[in-house]
Amino acid sequence: MPVILPVNGKHPQFGNNNFIAPNATVVGDVVMGDDCSVWFNTVIRGDVNFIRLGNKVNVQDGACIHCTYQKCGTTIGNNVSIGHNAIVHGCTLEDNVLVGMGAIIMDKAIVHSNTLIAAGAVVLENTICDPCSIYAGVPAKKVKDIPQDMIKGEINRIADNYIKYASWFKHVTVESEQ
């Protein structure tokens, strides 16, 4: 069973048709929309500030979403994919964002809509990522405008695929070892 815990009287809230992996952790002031998935070994820790996830958000294996005490909550829009082992901390991701594997997005950064953060990129504190752009590197810099076909072919495709993948687990039961 996933670890789902209240912190200081604030309970995680979940929309409809969500998948939470059996070893995921979701605690505190977390509000999640519909059609979201939280994958294996993922931590969404709303213990020190709020975390808001829109609809059709997937948080892939090993990712961590957190915030900063009394300073920065984390807001994630609709149709967002957060890649394996990424860290999203105290920032804002608008709609239609793809965060690559192992990327780090730090406090008070804003990633505008239709933007891709490349695998391994580090988006520093207070960085504003332009809409319809690709950011890569350490520290992350804009490398080019995102082609419209990539928005549909990558950002939307991945978000849609994760709804499909989550459906594969809807009727799985875990048998304990005897």
Question: pTM score, two decimals?
Answer: 0.94
**What is the spatial distance between Cα 77 and Cα 56, in angstroms, rounded to a whole number?**
9
Residue 66's pLDDT band (boundaries 50, 70, 90)? very high
Q: What is the pLDDT of residues 98-150, one digit of tens each?
A: 999 999 999 999 999 999 999 999 999 999 999 999 999 999 999 999 988 88
Please report, for the chain, how many H helices and E strands are present, in that order: 2, 20
Domain ranges of the chain: 3-167
Fold of domain 3-167: UDP N-Acetylglucosamine Acyltransferase; domain 1 (2.160.10)
Burial letters for 123-156: b for 16+ Cβ neighbours within 10 Å, e otherwise? beeebebeebbbbbeeebeeeeebeeebbeeebb
Residue 178's pLDDT band (boundaries 50, 70, 90)? very low
